[in-house]
Amino acid sequence: MARARDSFSDLLTRLLTGAAVAIVGLAAIWAGYPWFTLLVAVIIGVLIWELAQMLGAPRNAALGLGVAGGVLLLAAKLLPIGVGLPLLAVTGLAGLSLLPRNRTLFFVVATLIMLASFGLITHRDTFGVTWMLWLVLVVAVTDIAGYFAGRLIGGPKFWPRVLGQLRDISAARQRHDIVAARIARDQVERVLPDGPGGPENADPTHVSSSGRDRLRS
């Protein structure tokens, strides 16, 4: 019993933090451009900074990489897509010369983070609020279920040499997250069998007129 209580000792902190993040995130999603884009750019800057520190970058180099990631994401959003997409790899390339070790790992992960963030912004601009909220709901349910499964079942650390500072990343949790994702998807589809917004919005390949203009540019 005491062990179970210790496993959830940080639950209140997580709930309060999650509530604050949800309020800010949902408000930005609802407001759309430019607020959602700016929020994603700030978050990506923090993620790149944290990644660089975890992989052994000097403090000033990690800060510079984080700032560069956020700025380059904004530039990729504002410029034509043919010019903007290559910018998403610049932060990772810069890390090849700034990190004393784990250079290739930083390049791969940082570039994937930049691509994912650009895709997130494009998703909001193209498909609108409803599909974005659907995506957030699936991710939130998956993460919450993974947290409880990881704490209740436990398991060995996942990649402890690199991710040793993250207490709840374990090989077991990765499996639980996959199961939770399937359950979350099934439950969301049960509530919204025709897709968010009703049958007329059920096809995720449908692109709004503003989205088509963005893609053509």
CB of 68 closer than 8 Å to CB of 87: no
Which amino acid, residue 178? I
CA–CA gap between residue 161 and residue 59 (Å, rounded): 20
pLDDT for position 205: 42
Mean pLDDT of the 15-25 span: 83
Higher pLDDT, 39 or 174: 39
Instruction: Name the pLDDT band for 198 (thresholds 50, 70, 90).
Output: very low
**pLDDT over threshold 80, residue 58:** yes
User: What phi and psi values does residue 170 have, to the nearest 5 degrees?
Assistant: -135, 160
Mean pLDDT of the 18-22 span: 82
Ordered by start, the domain boundaries in the chain are 2-216
pLDDT for position 66: 96
Q: What are 105-141's pLDDT values in tens digits?
A: 999 999 999 999 999 999 999 988 888 888 888 777 7
CB of 45 closer than 8 Å to CB of 113: no
Higher pLDDT, 1 or 55: 55
pLDDT for position 163: 53
Q: What are 131-188's pLDDT values in tens digits?
A: 888 888 877 777 777 777 777 776 555 555 555 544 444 455 555 556 656 666 666 5
Q: How many CA atoms lie within 13 A of 14 on its CB side?
A: 11
Q: What percent of the chain has pLDDT above 70?
A: 66
Q: Is the peptide bond before 58 cis (omega within 30 degrees of 0)?
A: no
Q: What is the DSSP string of 23-76?
A: HHHHHHHHH-TTHHHHHHHHHHHHHHHHHHHHTT--HHHHHHHHHHHHHHHHHH
Mean pLDDT of the 52-72 span: 95
pLDDT for position 6: 58
Please provide the average confidence, as pLDDT, over all residues in the chain.
78
**pLDDT over threshold 70, residue 23:** yes
CA 56 to chain centre: 22
- Residue 69 Ramachandran class (φ > 0 left, ψ -120 to 50 alpha, else beta): alpha
Mapped onto helix, strand or coil, the DSSP state of residue 121 is helix
Token readout for 189 is: 């589809």
CB of 91 closer than 8 Å to CB of 72: yes
